[in-house]
């Protein structure tokens, strides 16, 4: 019965997306979408991934319009590589990082959850997720104009649609942008499972992820990242009109280069709510629950670090100066956080640990994510050092204060690191501190006006909105899944281990 209900829910979601796509498909058949691009004059140049821009009308006289932009093969090649790097972050990177941290009897359950979540979310992303996140609708959610990826290829004209970037007249193939953003959605959902690892039902995990992805990830991604690109901005009037089409937090000027709010805070809050609602593991605080393979955790952390260059530098959408800035910041901040965490652990616990080094690296990666394309290298260095120390407290002191069994410290690392990085972005993006400031697309140069205090208030709006939105959606989604499927495995199955009881196989054989 439970399997039937789960299948019905998944089928209903697909049918809903398909039904919503039909009007858009009919419109596309009559008149393909035209290219648009703009951003609020107060917005930074690389806040978000660009909105789709359709292929130009070949029938328009060349004398009446500027030559249509054509993707540069170097930018396109870089975005292919960046997308592959983000896939490596999730599978195998995140899977091995989490898998090594659980007990041996639950190793495969974690690998399976991450692997299946990645696959399910990529499917839903192409059916309806991309369209709701990255098309014009209202300030909180997009439309079904790109449902089933319709409209990106125009068979009548034999033309593909392009996506805008952060530079006027520079585009990339929209299919590449779809794939790149799809990997962001997939790894975000995968992050959540670390908070309630070793005790949740597999069917419940998948059902919750579908609901949370639909009602939390997509609206937050649209609010923070959606705009129509820079090309249509020529004066204050066009900046205002195009800016009004952007997501709510984008309109406010929130800075999130690669996902501090959308990815890390969003997922961490969902994970913490799950850890509280599902309850603590049997024997938590009384029995040893040490990681079964720090070797795999180290390998996973290393793959995360390597893949994160695609995550952060890829968010520039071009192979240029901002990508290079994000790259060096990702390298430097992560190294600084690793050193800071290990030194802090060495001082307060007496010994430096491999687990501490791996956790420190991830904390630095998380904290620099929202800031990497906005701050200078020394700002990145400071963010990394602070992340190592503050996230160390997050997984020790704060965790004890909250009292929840956050199995793999999702909130302590991703939540605290994401909040820290989002707020410090406002500080170190200031040109006086070596940052990029805010780009003015009307004047086509950096704006001379930048207020750390004003930007900090904007960042607080973004952080607060993400926390509240994700928490509310998570509570409702967990409750619905618990009523229909049940969130937690029976006690005897938890004691035996989820590998055997949920999947009928073992990671290791003697």
- Find the CATH number of the domain harbouring 88: 1.10.3430.10
The answer to the question of residue 16 being in a domain is: no
Span 5-53, pLDDT tens digits? 344 434 444 333 333 433 333 333 333 232 333 333 333 333 333 344 4
Does residue 322 carry a pLDDT above 90? yes
pLDDT given for residue 67 in this prediction: 76
In a domain, 20, yes or no: no
Question: How far from 420 is each of 44, 52, 115, 216, 268, CA to CA, in Å?
Answer: 19, 31, 29, 21, 13
Domain span at residue 452 reads: 40-55+69-503
What average pLDDT does range 312-333 have in this prediction? Answer: 98
Q: Which of 311, 274, 247 is nearest to 461 (CA)?
A: 247
Which pLDDT band, with edges at 50, 70 and 90, does 66 fall under?
A: low
Asked if pLDDT for residue 276 goes beyond 70, the answer is yes
Q: Is residue 12 in some structural domain?
A: no
**213-246 residue pLDDT tens:** 999 999 999 999 999 999 999 999 999 999 999 9
Residue keyed to tokens 């328009």: 60
CA distance linking residue 124 with residue 111, whole number of Å: 20
Tokens of 119: 């696959």
- What does pLDDT average to over the chain? 89
In a domain, 242, yes or no: yes
Q: b or e along 283-314 (b: 16 or more beta carbons within 10 Å of the residue's beta carbon)?
A: eeeeeebebbbbebbbbbbebbbebbbbbbbb
Is position 461 within any domain? Answer: yes
pLDDT score of 68: 82
Q: Is residue 30 part of a domain?
A: no
Q: For residue 248, list its beta bridge partners.
A: none
Element (H, E) at 162: strand 162-164
* Contact of 318 with 75, CB cutoff 8 Å: yes
The total number of structural domains that make up the chain: 1
pLDDT at 29: 32
321 in a domain, yes or no?
yes
Q: Is the pLDDT of residue 174 over 70?
A: yes
At 69, list the tokens. Answer: 């932009």
């Amino acid at each position: 019965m439970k399997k039937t209900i789960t299948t019905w829910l998944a089928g209903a979601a697909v049918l809903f997306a398909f039904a919503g796509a039909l009007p858009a498909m009919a419109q596309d058949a009559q008149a393909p979408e035209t290219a648009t691009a703009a951003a609020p004059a107060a917005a930074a140049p690389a806040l978000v991934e660009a909105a789709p821009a359709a292929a130009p009308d070949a029938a328009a006289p060349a004398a009446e319009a500027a030559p249509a932009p054509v993707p540069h093969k170097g930018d396109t090649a870089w975005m292919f590589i960046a997308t592959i790097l983000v896939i490596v972050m999730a599978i195998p990177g995140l899977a091995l990082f989490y898998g090594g941290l659980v007990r041996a009897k639950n190793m495969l359950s974690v690998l399976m959850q991450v692997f299946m979540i990645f696959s399910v979310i990529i499917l839903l992303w192409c059916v309806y997720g991309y369209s709701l996140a990255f098309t014009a609708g209202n300030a909180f959610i997009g439309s079904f104009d790109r449902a089933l990826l319709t409209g990106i290829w125009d068979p009548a004209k034999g033309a593909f649609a392009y996506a805008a970037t952060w530079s006027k007249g520079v585009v990339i193939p929209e299919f590449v942008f779809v794939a790149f953003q799809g990997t962001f959605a997939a790894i975000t959902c995968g992050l959540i499972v670390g908070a309630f690892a070793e005790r949740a039902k597999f069917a419940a995990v998948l059902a919750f992820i579908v609901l949370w992805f639909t009602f939390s990830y997509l609206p937050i991604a649209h609010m923070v990242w959606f705009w129509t690109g820079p090309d249509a901005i020529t004066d204050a009037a066009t900046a205002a009109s195009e800016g009004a089409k952007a997501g709510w937090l984008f309109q406010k000027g929130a800075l999130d280069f690669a996902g501090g709010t959308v990815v890390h805070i969003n997922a961490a809050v969902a994970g913490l709510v799950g850890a509280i609602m599902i309850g603590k593991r049997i024997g938590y605080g009384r029995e040893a629950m040490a990681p079964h393979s720090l070797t795999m955790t180290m390998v996973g952390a290393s793959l995360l670090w390597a893949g994160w260059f695609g995550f952060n530098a890829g968010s520039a959408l071009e192979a240029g100066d901002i990508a290079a800035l994000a790259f060096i910041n990702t390298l430097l901040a992560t190294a600084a956080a690793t050193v800071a965490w290990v030194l802090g652990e060495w001082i307060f616990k007496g010994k430096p640990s491999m687990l501490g080094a791996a956790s420190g690296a991830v904390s630095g990666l998380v904290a620099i994510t929202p800031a990497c394309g906005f701050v200078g290298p020394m700002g990145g260095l400071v963010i990394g050092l602070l992340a190592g120390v503050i996230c160390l407290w997050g997984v020790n002191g704060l965790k004890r204060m909250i009292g929840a069994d956050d199995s793999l410290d999702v909130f302590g690392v991703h939540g605290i690191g994401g909040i820290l990085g989002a707020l410090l972005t406002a500080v170190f993006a200031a040109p006086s501190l070596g940052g990029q400031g805010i780009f003015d697309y009307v004047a086509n140069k950096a704006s001379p006006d930048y207020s750390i205090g004003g930007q900090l208030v904007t960042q607080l709006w973004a952080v607060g909105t993400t926390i509240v939105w994700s928490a509310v959606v998570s509570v409702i989604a967990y409750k619905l899944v618990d009523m229909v499927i049940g969130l937690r495995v029976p006690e005897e199955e938890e004691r035996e281990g989820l590998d055997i009881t949920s999947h009928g196989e073992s990671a290791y054989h003697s």
